Amino acid sequence: MKPTFYVTTPIYYVNDVPHIGHAYTTVAADVLARYKRLMGFDVYFLTGSDEHGQKVEKAAITAGETPLELADRVVKRYQALWERLGISHNDFIRTTQERHKKGVSEIFSNILEKGDIYLGEYEDWYCTPCETFWPETQLIENRCPDCNRPVEKLKEESYFFRMSKYQQALLDHIETHPDFIQPKSKRNEIISFVKEGLRDLSVSRTTFSWGIPVPGNDKHIIYVWFDALTNYMSALGYPDATPEYQRFWPANVHLIGKDILRFHTVYWPTFLMAAGLPLPEKVFAHGWWTVEGQKMSKSLQNVVEPNMLIDKYGVDAVRYFLMREVPFGLDGDFSHTALVQRINSDLANDIGNLLSRSTAMAVKYFDGVLPSPAELTETDSALKNKTIEMVETVNKLMDELAFSKVLQTIWEVISAGNKYIDESAPWTLAKEPANRERLATVMYCLLESQRITHCVLSAFLPTTAGKALDSLGWIKEITRENLQWGGLSTGTTVTKSEALFPRIEG
Ligand code: ME8
């Protein structure tokens, strides 16, 4: 049986439309899912939408719709964008689906029965945009410490989750599972936060009605984060022992932005501990994108709309930029200039040129029929070895989710390919019939190196890699086994590749 791999994205709120921040997490998860599939894993890749809570209720009122009408309308925009971006998710969960409500009610009841959820009374400052209560001491100038927006005083009867009880167990878990929270800097932040002391957490609301009712007391709506986090399990069929649930839980990695780290590494694991369920293996928090140096926000009118970028630059250019520009885990800045620069240098120049030069030569010198190589010289072996080592290095770096480094490593092989052409000078070899065998070897090495490169790249740039592999005459499925040198068979038809990425002028 294949090993399993379960990767998730956050489920996005439907009160907002998708922007590059959302696309970023989802593309990263897609790259990982595609890579794991080609490495032979049975992958479950989940994304979805977070449709309950006061924020969505308020947005619906403003839009003159019911919350469900709003959700139905906005969720389509996410789904359409994922389709355009080539996202290969296996499932899309909406928190308004019955399967999800059932999972949330079950885990809530389970913890309630065990006594770790109890009824009490709450009075504190509430930030509606963040759906978070804050003690007065944590407010900054009477505003929310996370988003700096005004907070309001709320008093309500509330169910509480006995989070304080799990403080030590959580610290122990983080201690004994060094990879649970990544990157490391974030892990340290969470350790300090937990050490300061965990308070019991209010997990129900009575001030609005858009959500899942507390089982047995429908005056109360389950807290939207309790509801949302459970999606990672309800999508698999929890509480039923479905084959998916049994095979894929616990998740291998939850990919999230740094803004929601605490929910995923303090709330979620303690809920699971209380319910007696296994914890996810890893939570990885990536950084935030600013736009031309500024925070992206509706009020600044600088929200970068992924559809617009795809129209202008193409899907794979956008995917490439997001994964290459910023080391995963750090903050980054989006600018059109930086994107155009990447397209022109890395895509049009390096990878596009290499493929069109090499396939054109294969057509010119061998009528597009791949010749067989003779014995490899030192130069040939150097390219071969670099390609083989790249595959190994990429595998290690993918486990660290170091997407940008993966692409750098791949690009080293591409540069080596371009240098190899210049050094081997096939156009000179072609002038002498006596050099025919040497020319054949050069062509083979050049094309085989790119075949392997594009097989690996297919996780990042599925459309481009597909085109490249077509022109190299590679029609087989991409598997771990055929990432070895020698996969291209002599006699394969090679066709001249059109420019993979046109240069962007101006
Ligand atoms: O938080 N840069 O949903 P959300 C990078 N529903 N990533 C960004 C970003 C930016 N500027 N802005 C947003 C929620 N993101 C909850 C999640 S999960 C159980 C519930 C990405 O629609 C990033 O992944 O506000 C962040 O975590 C997510 O969008 C927040 O999406």
Give mean pLDDT in consecutive 10-residue pieces for the chain, a chain of 506 residues.
97 93 98 98 98 95 96 98 98 98 98 97 87 86 90 90 98 98 97 97 93 97 98 98 98 98 98 98 98 89 94 97 98 96 97 97 98 97 98 98 98 98 97 97 98 98 98 94 96 95 88
| Confidence at residue 67, expressed as pLDDT on a 0 to 100 scale | 97
By most ligand atoms within 8 Å of CB, the mutation choice from 9, 22, 74 for ligand 1 is 22
Give the CA-trace dihedral at 446, 450, 452, 454, to 10 degrees: -170
Residues 127-161: b if buried by 16+ CB within 10 A, e if exposed: bbbbbbbbeeeeeeeeebeeeeeebeebeeebbbb
Q: Which two tokens stand for residue 336?
A: 């059109």
Cα separation, 468 vs 143, whole angstroms: 53
Cα separation, 319 vs 314, whole angstroms: 9
Torsion angles phi and psi, residue 41, rounded to 5: -85, 150
| Confidence at residue 303, expressed as pLDDT on a 0 to 100 scale | 92
**Domain regions of the chain by residue span:** 335-483
| Confidence at residue 403, expressed as pLDDT on a 0 to 100 scale | 98
The single-letter DSSP state of residue 405 is: H
C-alpha distance from residue 411 to each of 27, 317, 349, 378, 466 (Å): 20, 15, 11, 21, 18
| Confidence at residue 207, expressed as pLDDT on a 0 to 100 scale | 85
Task: Pick the closest to residue 95 from 205, 269, 224, 270 (CA basis).
Answer: 224
Task: Pick the closest to residue 464 from 350, 308, 337 (CA basis).
Answer: 350
| Confidence at residue 477, expressed as pLDDT on a 0 to 100 scale | 92
| Confidence at residue 304, expressed as pLDDT on a 0 to 100 scale | 92
Bridge partner residues of 42 (DSSP): 4
Cα separation, 328 vs 74, whole angstroms: 28
Give the CA-trace dihedral at 409, 415, 421, 424, to 10 degrees: -70
Cβ pair 75, 93 in contact under 8 A:
no
Which residues are within 8 A (CB) of 250 and not within 5 positions of it... i.e. 6 or more apart?
6, 277, 278, 279, 280, 281
**Distance from the CA of 256 to the center of ligand 1, in angstroms?**
7
By most ligand atoms within 8 Å of CB, the mutation choice from 9, 25, 326 for ligand 1 is 25
Q: Roughly what angle, to the nearest 10 degrees, separates helices 315-325 and 306-313?
A: 110
Please tell us whether the domain made up of 335-483 is placed in CATH 3.40.50.720.
Answer: no
Cβ pair 207, 158 in contact under 8 A:
no
pTM of the model: 0.95
Cα separation, 396 vs 401, whole angstroms: 9
Bridge partner residues of 7 (DSSP): 45, 253
**Distance from the CA of 25 to the center of ligand 1, in angstroms?**
8
Angle at the Cα of 163 (from 157 to 167), degrees rounded to 5? 155
Q: How many CB atoms lie within 10 A of CB 114?
A: 12
| Confidence at residue 156, expressed as pLDDT on a 0 to 100 scale | 81
Residue spans of beta strands (DSSP E) within 76-135? 91-94, 117-127, 132-134
| Confidence at residue 16, expressed as pLDDT on a 0 to 100 scale | 85
For the chain, the C-alpha Rg in angstroms (whole number) is 26
| Confidence at residue 350, expressed as pLDDT on a 0 to 100 scale | 97
Ligand 1 residue neighbourhood (C-beta within 6 Å): 10-13, 16, 21-22, 24-25, 50, 228-229, 231, 256-257, 259-260, 288-289, 296
**Distance from the CA of 18 to the center of ligand 1, in angstroms?**
10
The single-letter DSSP state of residue 349 is: I
**Distance from the CA of 470 to the center of ligand 1, in angstroms?**
37
| Confidence at residue 223, expressed as pLDDT on a 0 to 100 scale | 97
| Confidence at residue 155, expressed as pLDDT on a 0 to 100 scale | 82
Q: Which amino acid is at 226?
A: F
Q: In what order do the strands lie in the sheet with 117-127?
A: 132-134, 117-127, 152-161, 201-202
Cα separation, 359 vs 41, whole angstroms: 32
Task: Pick the closest to residue 256 from 93, 428, 12, 76 (CA basis).
Answer: 12
By most ligand atoms within 8 Å of CB, the mutation choice from 260, 263, 264, 288 for ligand 1 is 260
